[in-house]
Every structure is written in C-alpha cells, then in structure tokens.
C-alpha cells in the first residue's frame, strides 16, 4: 500500500489497505494531533486514508454533509486526510451533560441520555440508548463502520481514548485494545514528555495490558519534546531493552498549533488565551475579546477564527471584572443552557453583560449563548427546569425540542456570504419586529437576530467565513470605539491547512515512517515479548 510514488494500490473493490491504532498513555497525550499528522502525511503521499475514533467523549462536535453529528477532532482529522467527514469516522459520541451523565450519539444521531454508571450497567438505557451490554450492543456497530472505511480507503488511522491501561474499563472497551483485538490492529502508544514520567508511562501502560493486548502494542511515540533529542537516546535504548519495543518517533514541541481540541473540560479557565501567531494589528489598536467560560462549554473552537486575526486578543473569563476592558464579549455554546445561565447570574456576569448592552457595547451569543440572551427559555428536555427567564437582551423565546437540530446552513450576514453548522435542541421564536442576523441574501431571516449592539445566532463556525468575520469585526470596532482594522487577507481555511501540513511535517521529519508503513500494511510483528505482570 503506497500512493503515487509507486507500489501497490487498491484495485476494484479489493481491500489492500490496513489500519493502525494510535493509543495514549493518558488523555490529552496528543493522540488527536498524531492521528491527524499521520493522515496528512499519508494523504500527501497519495494514499487514500481516513480517520476513525470508535467512541469519543467531547463537547466539541461537528455536522457532516449528511447531517450527522461527530466529534470535531474527527472532522479535523478528515480534513487532514483530505476526505469528507462522515458518521462512519466516529460511530459513538458521548456529550457530557454534567459530572455523571452524557448524551449518547450513535451514528450521528442522539440515542438517549445515560449516567456513567448506566452506560456500563446491565439493562437498556433511556431513550433507546445502549446500556449494559454496551460492548455487545456497540462493538458490532463500531466494527461495521471500521470495515466500511477499510473497504473505501487504503488505510484507516484509528484514535484511542484515554489510556488502554484503564483496567477497570477493559472488559467494556470498544475504542482501545478492545477495538485493536477485534479488528486485528497494531497499536502505537503516544506519551506527552512535557508532563514528565514518559518512560514510566510507556512501561507501565504496556505492563498493565494482558498478554493478548500486548501482542498488538508495537511501539511508542514521544510527543512535545523540547531540546536535544540525542539526550533521550540512553532512555530509548533502555526502554527497548525492557519492553522489546522501539520508540518510533520523538516529536518536538510545536508552538502555535490551534488545532481543534477534544473538549473544553480541561481548559484552564481563568485568563486562558487561545494561542495565536497572528501578529500585530493592522490599525492603531488591538481588539480584546472575552469569552464567558460557562459550564459545559461546547464548540469553543468558534473563537479560533477571531484569534487568527492580527491584533485580536481572545481570552476566557469567569469574573465580571474580566469583561470590563473587553471590546466584545462572547457567550459561547453549552450543553447546559439553563445551568450556564444560572452560573452567569451567580458570578455576576449576567449583570455585567446587561450593563454592556445598555451602554451599547458589543455582545455576541452563539447557540446556547444566543438562547441565554433571549427573554424566556422553556426546557423540559435538557435540564427539565421548566420555564426560566433569560437575560432579556434579544427579542426571542426558546423552547427545547426532543428532536435535535443538525444542519449545515448558508446565507448572508452584514452583506457578506456566511456558512455554519447547527447542533441544538432549543428552537428560537424570534419577534417579527426583530432585525435578522443571518438571511437568505434577499433580506429574509434564516437565523439569529440583533438588538442594538447585541447579536445572536445558532450557527457555529460562522466566524470562519472570512469576509463576514471582517465585516463583523469592523462593526465591533466601531461600536467599541477602537481604532482597529481587520487584516484584508486573513484566510482562516488556508491557515488551518498550513497547520495540518505542519502536523504532517512532524510525522515525516521526526517519526520512523518506514516502520509506520510496515505496521499499517503488515500488522504488529509476531515476536513482541510479554512484559510482566500483565492483566487478566
């Protein structure tokens, strides 16, 4: 299996490709970006490749062209692979609704709400979601999706979740070694050396796996290394002696990669800043954006396009005084609109936002944030709180529907073309007299509305439309009294492609690509030694 540079390729419907599992020593070890980097490296070689994550837990999601909801990281990996995202790439998505419950999305559609215990316990889940025999119910779905991708592509690069050595969950596993065993996938384990203890993590992860699972773990990848890689060589040699497995790459720490994260749960809230290498402003002043770090924040990647603009500073805020010097306040999406609304009030942020609106200072609400800006919310679905007063800053009332809206709309706003995607249960009833935000180009409202300096829309991703983003920032700068000028040539899509190419470069330049290709084509070597003590 090679691409345009020679070798064998797929012919007809024959399946000649292989697969690889990218596992990790911990959550956030770098599995998502390594998977994306491998996909981009293979795609540049002319190999037909697709990403796959059997089960994902994330509040950042995306809508595929066929109207299915998947993890946003898998959509990013599909872009790295230069293929359209599909529900096949993330058959099971868990969207946390609190510390102990999640919405279960199967093949892109909500299948019910389950507690963490209910997801693993015996018996069916609510709303038709799989409960107990989760492995028995979902593994066939997962394997079918994987095999369908295998039939269409030369290679499928699978991402694990958390760690494969979570021995309390192994018997239910369908995303780490459970998938690898069922599909015969070789696995590489990624470790974040920036956290420290990477050698112990590699050894311990391997030693906690059963003999059959260890037989598929074929090597390791060190992520986020700073300094002279030759200093690692003694440790790499000793690790090979202890485990019989090579380190297949030492990837350097890469600054300024604004690649989509799995979720906002690990985001350090106070003062957190979206990394940007955009540079100084084109005008005389910068533009400061404060994003309310609401509970269960979803699709906070909406503000990445703002951070990509030269002179736009984006930070997350959880105190009212942190909004004081902001030129624009963003209320982002959330999986708990009523809960987030209560949080805004408890912290004094609701009052600060209302004060801004009264002073004519810009506020933007996206999805759940848009809903909070309305007059009233009727929710018997998400929070089951009944009728709750909104912030009263936009002329709309929201009713939560059982059916989730999943769409890929397009239209016009501020005289410029705009596209986005919708993921929400809340249905907004906007007053006829309201000024629309997103229109069909002939003035007819499609979504959202505006009242003075307060704007709202359900459309995630709309700020990635370059001309619209520039028009919106010009309006914000005018209303905020800032001498800020948007750069005329910032192309967010091109910046994203450059970042994905950088990931491909990391793999091509710092990993043993020959060894990776052999694993994808031939599977794990048959003579990998067992590392005691192992697990049942």
Burial call 476-511: b when 16+ CB within 10 Å, e when fewer: bbebbebebbbbeebebeebbeebbbbbbebbbebb
Position 101 in a domain:
yes
310 plus 454 within the same structural domain: yes
- Indicate whether 118 and 201 sit together in one domain: yes
**Is there a domain that residue 525 lies in?**
no
Going by pLDDT thresholds of 50, 70 and 90, the confidence category of residue 258 is low
pLDDT at 119: 62
Full-model pTM: 0.90
Q: Are residues 174 and 84 in the same domain?
A: yes
Tell me, yes or no, whether 300 and 208 share the same domain. Answer: no
Q: Nearest to residue 203, comparing CAs of 162, 169, 247, 172?
A: 247
What percentage of the chain reaches a pLDDT higher than 90?
79
Examine residue 500 and state whether it is found in any structural domain, yes or no.
no
Domain membership of residue 272 (yes or no) is no
Q: How far apart are CA 503 and CA 145, in angstroms?
A: 26
Longest dimension (CA), the chain: 74
Shared-domain flag, residues 225 and 291:
no
* HSE (side-chain half, CA atoms, 13 Å) at 308: 25
Residues 84 and 127 in one domain: yes
Q: What is the pLDDT at residue 443?
A: 82
Q: In this predicted model, what pLDDT tens digit does every residue of 135-189 receive, in sequence order? A: 778 999 999 999 999 999 999 999 999 999 999 989 889 999 999 999 999 999 9
Query: Encoding tokens for residue 42?
Result: 């293979």
- Residue 526 in any domain: the answer is no
Is 120 part of a structural domain of the chain? yes
As a whole-number percent, the residues of the chain with pLDDT over 70 amount to 89
Same domain for 208 and 86:
yes
- pLDDT value, residue 114: 75
pLDDT, position 133: 60
- CATH code, domain carrying 183: 3.40.50.300
The answer to whether residues 149 and 236 belong to one domain is: yes
In this structure, the answer to whether residues 421 and 315 fall within a common structural domain is: yes
Domain holding 62, by residue range, is 18-257
> Residue 1's pLDDT is what?
57
User: Over 457-493, what HEC string results?
Assistant: ECCECHHHCHHHHHHHHHHHHHHHCCCCCCCCCCCHH
**Number of domains observed in the structure of the chain:** 2
137: left (phi over 0), alpha (psi -120 to 50) or beta: alpha
The lowest-confidence range among 86-100, 208-222, 303-317 is 86-100
Domain boundary among 236, 257, 278: 257
What does the DSSP 8-state code read for residue 511?
B
Question: Residue 249 pairs with which residues in a beta bridge?
Answer: 221, 511
pLDDT tens, position by position, 275-297:
455 778 888 899 999 999 999 99
In the predicted structure, residue 120 carries a pLDDT above the cut 80: no
- The verdict on 300 and 218 lying in the same domain is no
- CATH number for the domain spanning 404: value is 3.40.50.880
pLDDT reading at 66 higher than 50:
yes
Question: Cis peptide leading into 190, omega within 30 of 0?
Answer: no
Asked if 298 and 242 sit in the same domain, the reply is no
DSSP string, 318-340: -SGGGGTT-SEEEE-EES-HHHH
pLDDT band at 9 (very low <50, low <70, confident <90, very high): very low
| Highest-pLDDT range among 26-30, 282-286, 454-458 | 454-458
Lowest mean pLDDT across 221-230, 266-275, 456-465: 266-275
In a domain, 509, yes or no: no
User: Which residues are part of the catalytic machinery?
Assistant: 367, 460
> Has residue 517 been placed in a domain?
no
Work out the pLDDT band at 241, boundaries 50, 70, 90.
very high
pLDDT above 50 for 10: no
In this structure, the answer to whether residues 400 and 292 fall within a common structural domain is yes
């Amino acid at each position: 299996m090679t691409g345009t540079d020679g070798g064998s390729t797929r012919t007809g419907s024959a399946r000649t490709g292989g697969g690889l599992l990218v596992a990790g020593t911990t959550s956030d070890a770098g599995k998502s970006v390594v998977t994306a980097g491998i996909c981009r490296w293979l795609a540049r070689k002319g190999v037909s490749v697709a990403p796959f994550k059997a089960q994902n837990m994330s509040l950042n999601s995306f809508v595929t062209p066929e109207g299915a909801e998947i993890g946003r990281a898998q959509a990013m990996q599909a872009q790295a692979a230069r293929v359209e995202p599909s529900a096949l790439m993330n058959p099971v998505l868990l969207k946390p609704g609190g510390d102990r419950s999640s919405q279960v999305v199967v093949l892109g559609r909500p299948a019910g709400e389950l507690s963490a215990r209910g997801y693993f316990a015996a018996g069916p889940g609510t709303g038709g979601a799989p409960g107990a025999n989760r492995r028995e119910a979902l593994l066939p779905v997962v394997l079918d999706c994987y095999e369908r991708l295998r039939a269409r592509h030369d290679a499928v690069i699978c991402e694990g979740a958390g760690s494969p050595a979570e021995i309390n969950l192994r018997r239910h596993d369908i995303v780490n070694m459970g998938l690898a065993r069922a599909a015969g996938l070789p696995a590489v384990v990624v470790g974040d050396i920036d956290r420290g203890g990477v050698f112990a993590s590699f050894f311990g992860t391997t030693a906690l796996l059963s003999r059959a699972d260890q037989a598929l773990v074929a090597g390791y990848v060190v992520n986020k290394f700073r300094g002279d890689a030759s200093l690692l060589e003694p440790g790499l040699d000793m690790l090979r002696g202890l485990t019989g497995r090579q380190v297949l790459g030492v990837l350097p720490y890469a600054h300024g990669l604004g690649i989509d994260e799995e979720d906002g749960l690990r985001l350090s809230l106070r003062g957190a800043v979206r990394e940007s290498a955009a540079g100084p402003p084109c005008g005389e002043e910068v533009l400061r954006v404060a994003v309310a770090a609401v509970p269960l924040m979803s699709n906070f990647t909406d503000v990445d396009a703002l951070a990509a603009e030269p002179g736009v500073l984006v930070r997350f805020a959880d105190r009212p005084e942190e909004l004081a010097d902001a030129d624009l306040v963003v209320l982002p999406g959330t999986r708990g609109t009523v809960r987030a609304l209560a949080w805004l009030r408890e912290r004094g942020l609701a009052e600060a936002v209302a004060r801004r609106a009264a002073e004519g200072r810009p506020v933007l609400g996206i999805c759940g944030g848009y809903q909070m800006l309305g007059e009233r919310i009727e929710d018997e679905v998400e929070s089951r709180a009944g009728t709750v007063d909104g912030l009263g800053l936009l002329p709309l009332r929201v009713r939560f529907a059982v059916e989730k809206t999943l769409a890929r709309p397009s239209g016009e706003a501020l005289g410029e073309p705009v596209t986005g995607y919708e993921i929400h249960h809340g249905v907004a009833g906007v007053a006829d007299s309201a000024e629309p935000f997103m229109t069909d180009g002939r003035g007819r409202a499609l979504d959202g509305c505006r009242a003075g300096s307060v704007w709202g829309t359900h459309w995630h991703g709309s700020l990635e439309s370059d001309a619209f983003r520039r028009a919106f920032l010009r309006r914000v700068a005018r209303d905020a009294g800032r001498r800020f000028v948007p750069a005329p040539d910032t192309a967010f899509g091109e910046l994203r492609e450059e970042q994905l190419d950088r990931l491909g470069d990391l793999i091509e330049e710092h990993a043993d690509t020959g060894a990776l290709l052999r694993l994808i084509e031939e599977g794990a070597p048959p003579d990998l030694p067992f590392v005691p003590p192992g697990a049942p």
